[in-house]
Structure 1
Amino acid sequence: MASKPTFSVPSGGSAQVSIIETGMRMDDIDLGFLLAPAVDSFEKISIPGWSILIQNSKGQKVLFDLCFSPERDTYPPGAWGLINAAGAAIKGTKHVADVLKENNVDPAEISSVIWSHHHWDHIGDPTTFPKTTEVVVGPGFKKAYLPGYPTQKDAYIEERHFEGRTLREVDFSASSLKIGRFTALDFFGDGSFYLLDAPGHDWGHLNGLVRTTSNPDTFIFLGGDTVHHGGELRPTPYLPIPDEVNFPLPDHVRARGVSACPKGSQFRELNVKRGRKPDHPFFDPVLVVDMADAVESIDKAQEADAQSNIFFVFAHDVSIQGVVDFFPLPANEWKEKGWKEKHMWNFLGDMTLATTS
């Protein structure tokens, strides 16, 4: 095992964070649309979508990503182009704002909605929030994606999302702050929540880092779409697959008569058979606008993932289901509850059949 990389974060306050489950799912996505190289018996992928509620010590509330809008008849043509290319079947009936109201949080309390990037399954519908809620986007967003639909007929986003509302584009160019190797901005100014410059998947793509406890410091890393599957993130030389792995076997795997998790050595051998190194991730990203930037952002994120005090959650991380507490419960006690260890290798379930073929 390689020595653990450093991932330095300045001292600061903590924030309350919750993972919001909206019920959104995208089923039957062609794996090759998101990940490569192929692996036997893993042709389709189904993924959820998470929105993250963050509240600082002064009570200011923001959301990182809005997941999707259940009102699919309002999607502009550009969004449908991406959905159809993925071969996805979309399920879900609730806006994030609906979930907030059901749990006695007024959408008017949300001061900012932060989009990790401009894809339809992250932007939701900002019009479900009052005009006082700003939309925060990454660098280059306005140049790349404005005007929206209907002025630009093939746009992914809609101009109505910004009418009468502040659209704030963050600028990392003057920032000297580094979180690990990420260029960063202190969003609240108290060290409790940082925005990280993580391009590659999309222009202006953002990650986040929330301090969940202080002294000792623990964090939740918000990965957005830097990765779409745990096999893009792990294993690494810092986090090799252990000899004994335990994870819930997917139903379709049990249906094939598999009743026990394969050994870690079988997954390492699978990686080698596919032309990978045994301690390198199973997959490379596919859905990117810049491959070099995408790979670099993943490399930086892997350094965060290797830290015992950082819990990595990406926007479509199905492996946390059955492990984490969802909103309205907070996620701050993730380390005490052992979530990182419980979910770390759950993604291997998708590749179990390939180890037995």
Structure 2
Amino acid sequence: MAQAHHPPDLKIPSSDATVRVRIIDTTSRISGIPIDGFMRPSIKGFEYLNCPAFSFLIEHPSSRNLLFDLGVRKDIENFSPRIINRIKEGGWKVTVEKSVRDQLSDNNVKPSSIEAIIWSHWHWDHTGDPSTFPPSTTLIAGPGFKQNFLPGYPSNPESPIKETDYADRELREISFSDLKIGRFNAFDYFGDGSFYLLDSPGHAIGHMCGLARVTSNPPSFIFMGGDACHHGGEFRPSKYLPLPSRIVPNPLKKRGSQPCPGSLFEPILRDGDRTKPFFEIPEGRVAHDTEEARRTVEKVMEADAREEVFVVMAHDDTVGEVVDLFPGYADGFARKGWVGDSRWLFLRDFEEAVEGRKEA
């Protein structure tokens, strides 16, 4: 059995300041995207991504509310032509039932209460439609955004974003200095240690993650991963979290109490190594900078290894089975055991690959 390495200290500055976090199912559903552009090697029965897109409502005690990502805009036909063509060429099925703005309004959260919308990155399944929020809501993007994507469509017919996304509102680009959280460059948004933006490049220009402190004694944090990874198999197992010999809850039986033997998955491990993620990011495919994206994944692994950190990627379709989604709150994740309950659920995607090895 592989020996787990002790997880590194992320050296998060101490603080009594916290925020409240709600995980929003944006109702975006995207299906039919081949995984070979995002991860390798291929695993039998898992050839396509069929996923939701999560947003996060971050509520500061001062009533300075933030949204981290918006999912897909509801009026898909009003994306910029570059994005509309990309969706058509890919042959993907994309649906949205209700916008984030409407969900907020329906649950007594006024759109005017949102100080800023933070885009983890500029990809269409995260940007939503900021124009549905009042001009008082700032739009925040990561390093290099303005240089690479402004002006938006229609001034630049090839731009993936629209001028209406930022028109008549402040467009702020984050600059990271020497503050560190783990090996991430960090930005203390409120200046009190309650919420950090993390520089996490590689997947896309300006990609950022978020880290929210939701309790102070003991401290616990929600890590908003954006597209730093697209599937749990990209950052699990790791040298800090080897594939266990007994997996509970059983990912192959919905909410099953009988443990699943980890040995079932040994044949599909990379190099048969229980400390190596099932997947890695392939060269020259979806990632803007493959090597940088792989380094970001390594940093995610370090955060994921901490029991006080709940890592949520934007497209993790297992999250909704475990957490209390909006309008519920996610602050009590540690007390409710969400980290352990969700950690290995992604293994269900490999059921066909291990079908012949199932043990009674």
Supply the AA of the counterpart residue of 2:213.
R
2:250 to 243, 247, 252: 247
CA distance in structure 2 between the aligned counterparts of 1:320 and 1:249, rounded to whole angstroms: 16
Question: Any idea what the Cα deviations from partners look like across 1:242-293, whole Å, max 9, x if unmatched?
Answer: 1112334389xxxxxxxx8752012123214xx4633211111242100111
Cα offset, 1:40, TM superposition: 1.0
Alignment of 1:100-139 (within 5 A): 100-139=104-143
Which moved further from structure 2: 241-250 or 262-271?
241-250
Contact persistence 1:108–1:133 (CA under 8 A): yes
Displacement of 1:335 after TM fit? 0.4
Deviation at 1:42, TM superposition (A): 1.3
- Alpha-carbon offset, residue 3 of structure 1: 2.0
1:333 is matched with which residue? 332
- Tell me the distance in 2 between the aligned counterparts of 1:248 and 1:280: 19
- Write the distance in 2 (CA, Å) between the matches of 1:227 and 1:296: 11
Aligned counterpart in structure 1 of residue 27 of structure 2, from 23, 45, 50 = 23
1:197 partner letter: D
Match of 1:10 in 2: 13
1:189 and 2:206 matched: no
Specify the SS of the correspondent of 2:222: strand
Choose the corresponding residue for 2:171, options 167, 171, 187.
167
Farther off after superposition, 286-295 or 260-269: 260-269
Change (3 A) 1:313 1:90: same
Residue 43 of structure 2: SS of its match in structure 1?
coil
Tell me if structure 1 keeps the 8 A contact 2:202–2:287. yes
Change (3 A) 1:145 1:193: same
Instruction: Give TM-score, length-normalised by structure 1.
Output: 0.93
1:266 aligned partner: 264
Shift of 1:304: 0.3
* Structure 2 unaligned regions, length at least 5: none
Residue number in structure 2 paired with 1:256: none
- The one-letter amino acid paired with 1:16 is R
Distance 1:170 1:124 in 2: 20
Q: 1:8 to 1:81 in 2, by over 3 A?
A: farther
For 2:297 and 2:138, how far apart are their aligned partners in 1? 28
Contact 1:268–1:279 at 8 Å: present in 2 too? no
Decide whether aligned partners of structure 1 residues 276 and 146 sit closer, same or farther in structure 2, where only a CA change above 3 A counts.
farther
TM-score (norm 2): 0.92
Aligned equivalents of 2:96, 2:294: Cα separation in 1: 31
Shift of 1:33: 2.8
Query: What is the number of equivalent residue pairs in this alignment?
Result: 346
What amino acid sits opposite 2:58 in the alignment?
A: I
C-alpha offsets along residues 106-145 of structure 1, whole Å, 9 cap, x if unaligned? 1010010000000111110001100000100000000111
Instruction: Describe how 1:41-120 pairs up with structure 2 within 5 A.
Output: 41-84=45-88, 86-120=90-124
1:8 alignment partner AA: K
* Alignment check: 8 A CA contact 1:69 1:94 kept: no
One-letter code of the match for 2:8? P
User: Which one of 273, 277, 282 corresponds to residue 277 of structure 1?
Assistant: 273
SS in structure 1 at match of 2:205: coil
Alpha-carbon distance between aligned partners in 1 of 2:260 and 2:328, rounded to the nearest angstrom: 34
Shift of 1:45: 2.1
* 2-structure distance, mates of 1:314, 1:221: 8
Aligned to 2:307: 308
Give the match for residue 290 of structure 1: 289
Partner of 1:180: 182
Deviation at 1:190, TM superposition (A): 1.1
State the alpha-carbon separation in 1 of the partners of residues 252 and 86 from structure 2.
31
Show the counterpart of 1:210.
Answer: 212
* Structure 1: runs of 5 or more not aligned: 252-259
The Cα RMSD (Å) is 1.7
Structure 2 CA distance for partners of 1:7 and 1:87, relative to 1, 3 Å: farther
Identity %: 42
CA distance in 2, matches of 1:187, 1:98: 26
**Corresponding position of 1:254:** none
What's the offset of the Cα at 1:155?
A: 1.5
**Deviation at 1:86?**
4.4
In structure 1, the residue corresponding to 2:156 is in which secondary structure? Answer: coil
For residue 283 of structure 1, give the secondary structure of its aligned residue in structure 2: coil
Q: Cα deviation per residue 1:302-322 (whole Å; 9 max; x = unaligned)?
A: 100000100000111111121
Q: Distance in 2 between matches of 1:283 and 1:214?
A: 34
Structure 2 CA distance for partners of 1:276 and 1:114, relative to 1, 3 Å: farther
* Residue equivalent to 1:229: 231
Match for residue 152 of structure 2 among 141, 145, 148: 148
Rounded to whole Å, the distance in 1 between the matches of 2:311 and 2:201 is 17
Aligned partner letter, 2:276: H
Q: Which digits, 9 at most, give the CA deviation of each residue in 1:171-216, with x for residues without a partner?
A: 11xx221111111010011110000000000011000100010011
Query: Hey, what does 1:255 align to over in structure 2?
Result: none
Further displaced range: 76-85 or 115-124: 76-85
Matched position secondary structure for 2:26: strand
